[in-house]
């Protein structure tokens, strides 16, 4: 039963992982809608930066993004006379949130574009503004379609939090590696780690499925 002695530090690390997951997932949701809708904007000033950011974060490694924010950004700041050092938690949340947000942006774009064009045309015929069409016609129908993909992205984000251990943030993976280095009990430590991530993923999936069900009950009051 010596594995019980590992529970306290592992639970402390798990709490950090939960906080990282929640904060970065919320940030990712905001980034997803901002970039996804920006990519659909008629103005190039909104569309081009959105496309560049999406492709940058989808086309590069999350690990490299994390290292750049934590190690390279402060060096860049020194060259221009600014203090751009980020705490490990901030760097981790930013890297995870921007990365998942870039993938989520394509989910948002695809769901909005899937709304039948006939409804857009009918709304224009009724003299709806583009803003009204987006908020009253497109998004109420698109958001329920986004939820299964967002659920998958949230679970993937949970698993990706293990990378923050590489910048010495005391998450679950970092605590597990500390204990393993001290005890050399690799089998027990990594088995516990496996089941703890699996348990958190199950809980997160249940939460997202519940949210998906609630959103699925929401239907637009105006459909054309």
Please report the DSSP string for 115-167 in residue order: S-HHHHHHHHHTT--HHHIIIIIIHHHHHHHHHHHHHHHHHHHHHHGGGGGGG
168 CB neighbour count, 10 Å cutoff = 9
pLDDT on residue 218? 63
Taking a C-beta distance cutoff of 8 angstroms, is the pair 57, 69 a contact? no
Taking a C-beta distance cutoff of 8 angstroms, is the pair 160, 171 a contact? no
Q: Indicate if the alpha-carbon torsion angle 197, 200, 202, 204 is positive or negative.
A: negative
pLDDT less than 50: residues of the chain? 221-224
pLDDT on residue 140? 84
Q: What is the pTM of this model?
A: 0.89
> Token digits for 28?
């990712």
How many C-alpha atoms does 81 have within 13 Å on its Cβ side?
Answer: 0
CATH 1.10.3720.10 fits 2-216, yes or no: yes
Angle between helices 186-216 and 139-160 (to 10 degrees): 170
pLDDT on residue 223? 47
Angle between helices 7-39 and 139-160 (to 10 degrees): 140
Give the whole-angstrom CA distance, residue 45 versus residue 124.
24
For the chain, give the longest Cα–Cα distance: 72
What digits encode the pLDDT tens for the residues 86-137? 999 999 999 999 999 999 999 999 999 888 888 777 877 777 877 777 787 8
Cβ-based neighbours of 200, under 8 Å, separated by 6 or more: 14, 17, 18, 21, 158
| C-alpha distances out from residue 62 to 4, 59, 180, 184, 218, Å | 33, 9, 25, 29, 34
Give the whole-angstrom CA distance, residue 144 versus residue 122.
22
Taking a C-beta distance cutoff of 8 angstroms, is the pair 164, 171 a contact? yes
Which residue is listed with tokens 């019980």?
A: 4
Give the whole-angstrom CA distance, residue 91 versus residue 159.
17
């Amino acid at each position: 039963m010596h594995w019980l002695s590992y529970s306290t530090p592992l639970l402390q690390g798990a709490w950090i992982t939960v906080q990282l997951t929640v904060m970065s997932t919320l940030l990712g949701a905001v980034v997803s809608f901002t970039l996804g809708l920006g990519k659909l904007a008629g103005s190039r000033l909104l569309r081009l930066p959105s496309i560049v950011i999406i492709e940058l974060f989808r086309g590069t490694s999350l690990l490299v993004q994390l290292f750049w924010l934590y190690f390279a950004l402060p060096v860049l700041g020194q060259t221009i006379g600014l203090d751009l050092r980020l705490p490990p938690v901030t760097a981790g949340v930013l890297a995870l949130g921007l990365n998942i947000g870039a993938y989520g942006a394509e989910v948002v774009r695809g769901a909005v574009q899937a709304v039948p064009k006939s409804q857009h045309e009918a709304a224009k015929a009724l003299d709806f503004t583009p803003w009204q069409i987006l908020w009253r016609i497109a998004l109420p129908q698109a958001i329920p379609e986004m939820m299964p993909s967002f659920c998958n992205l949230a679970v993937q984000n949970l698993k990706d939090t293990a990378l923050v251990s590489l910048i010495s943030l005391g998450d679950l993976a970092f605590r597990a590696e500390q204990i393993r280095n001290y005890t050399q009990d690799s089998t027990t430590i990594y088995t516990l780690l496996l089941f703890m991530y699996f348990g958190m993923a199950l809980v997160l999936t249940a939460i997202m499925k519940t949210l998906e069900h609630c959103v699925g009950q929401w239907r637009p009051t105006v459909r054309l």
